[in-house]
Amino acid sequence: MVKPSIPKGTRDFGPAVVRKRNYIFQTIRGVFELYGFQPLETPAMENLTTLNGKYGEEGDKLIFKILDNGDILGRAQQAKDSRELGYLLCEKALKYDLTIPFARYVVMNQHEIAFPFRRYQIQPVWRGDRPAKGRYREFYQCDADIIGSNSLMNEVELLKIYDTVFTKLGMEGYQIKVNNRKILAGLAELVGKSDLLTDITISIDKLDKIGAGGVTNELLNRGLSEADIKIILDFIAITGTNKEILDQLRKVFEPSETGLKGVEELSAVINNPYTQFNTEPIIDLTLARGLNYYTGMIIEVKAPETVKMGSIGGGGRYDDLTGLFGLPGVSGIGISFGVDRIYDVLEELQLFPATAQQSTQVIFLNTGDENAGIAFQYMMQLRESGISSEIYPESSKLDKQMKYANKREIPYVAIIGDSERESGKLSLKNLNTGEQQLLSLQELLEYNF
């Protein structure tokens, strides 16, 4: 017999982990709902044609394809290479993110949806990446988007959602960094290299890791002149408060309409007259975010610096997401929570509340038929009053039953032995404090667990 195992990069979530993950999901979901976002769920399987070509050449390779059923040998024999074989044998694939299925859903249901459409979606996705620490082949994404509106009020709302969720999770010291793609586009305009926008942003994004010298070398290799590079280095050297940064940018971008538009958008969001943030967003001009489809504000949330966890969320404004499926001109903005990393941060900072770890509150020991019958009745009453409880199903040695209670970390043990039965009471023992008391059923039901 083969020793059972699970596929590389996948995980079983045991009871304690499921409860803590649900605490995170519930917190985020609660805020989404409070902000008027509506839940959507799409199938795990999409048609391969829906996904193919949407994530670049590298992405295509990482999509998990599902083998067609039925007679496929003939088709297999026509394949010239492994890549073609995959497309000949598979009509369906596992979803790779939540964004493309969302766009597909919007196009399919465009006549029923009330726009602007505020939707959230919390579901697993699958990617054939090489598994590594913190990188899984099956993981949850947790997204909220508003599509069909250009209003910068949406930017404010989504920033405020990050702010509210991380505050509710008790996470102190997180940073919300913002930038605007139009500012980066303006920079490329300034150096007269709009066609190199992507290269420039990729290099800037690495400033943290490779320093100004590294950025210079990369840009030289990409064909920028020293004068161009000086403009870029001067740009990323702009620091100060949000106000100081915005003031300097206004000067820098006098010759660039695009750049100025980005500055004004950023300013309108940061200085919005609507609401205050618990943690004020910080302008970070080196923030680029990889995805090319962003066109306006971009956002990234960093974990508190003490935990060295990096990004725990991100998003931005995009145009024309649904154009891929035949519905052009719909602008939107979306954010995403990195649930696995948030879990690690909360664990490391010990921020999971006791309620997120609570399972059975009371276990009734089983001291034999007649006593067990009474214990069962008491237990049912407790359950009816909302206290999670159970009875050990066999009248095993009490040692064994206590071992079970301890292993399960059940805080209270209730015992009805012969003497308790005769007095119409039960013994309730708090396993954390060792305290034990004799209670009537009424007292049990009124007990403050």
Enumerate residues 270-289 that contact a copy of itself by CB under 8 A.
Answer: 273-275
Cα 161 from Cα 307, distance rounded (Å): 22
Q: Which stretch binds a copy of itself (CB under 8 A): 8-16, 293-301, 307-315, 339-347?
A: 8-16
Q: Which stretch binds a copy of itself (CB under 8 A): 99-107, 175-183, 212-220, 339-347?
A: 99-107
| Parallel/antiparallel/unpaired status of strands 92-94 and 65-66 | antiparallel
Least separation in angstroms between CB 448 and a copy of itself: 18
Angle at 241 between CA 238 and CA 247, to 5 degrees: 60
The reply on whether position 95 binds a copy of itself by CB under 8 A is no
DSSP 288: -
Among 25, 202, 279, 325, binds a copy of itself (CB under 8 A): 325
Residue among 308, 333, 275, 439 at smallest CA distance from 119: 333
Sites for a copy of itself among residues 297-316 (CB under 8 A):
none
Among 25, 277, 404, 449, binds a copy of itself (CB under 8 A): 404
Q: Which two tokens stand for residue 232?
A: 């870029």
Environment class of residue 190 by beta-carbon count within 10 Å: exposed (0-12), middle (13-18) or buried (19+)?
A: buried
Sites for a copy of itself among residues 334-373 (CB under 8 A):
359-360, 363, 372-373
Q: Which two tokens stand for residue 30?
A: 């609660």
Count, residues near a copy of itself per rule CB under 8 A: 106
Least separation in angstroms between CB 24 and a copy of itself: 14
CA atoms within 13 A on the CB side of 58: 2
Sheet strands (E) in 91-152 = 92-94, 117-126, 138-147
The reply on whether position 329 binds a copy of itself by CB under 8 A is no
Annotated ligand binding at 447? The verdict is no
Least separation in angstroms between CB 357 and a copy of itself: 12
Among 309, 390, 420, 426, binds a copy of itself (CB under 8 A): 390
Question: Please, which residue, 198 or 358, has the CB nearer to a copy of itself?
Answer: 358
**Per-residue b or e along 47-86, where b marks 16 or more CB atoms closer than 10 Å to that residue's CB:** ebebbbebbeeebbeebbbeeeeeeeeeeeeeeeeeeebb
Q: Which two tokens stand for residue 11?
A: 């995980």
Among 53, 61, 214, 243, binds a copy of itself (CB under 8 A): 61
Question: Please, which residue, 112 or 435, has the CB nearer to a copy of itself?
Answer: 112
The reply on whether position 1 binds a copy of itself by CB under 8 A is yes
Question: Please, which residue, 45 or 282, has the CB nearer to a copy of itself?
Answer: 45
Least separation in angstroms between CB 118 and a copy of itself: 7
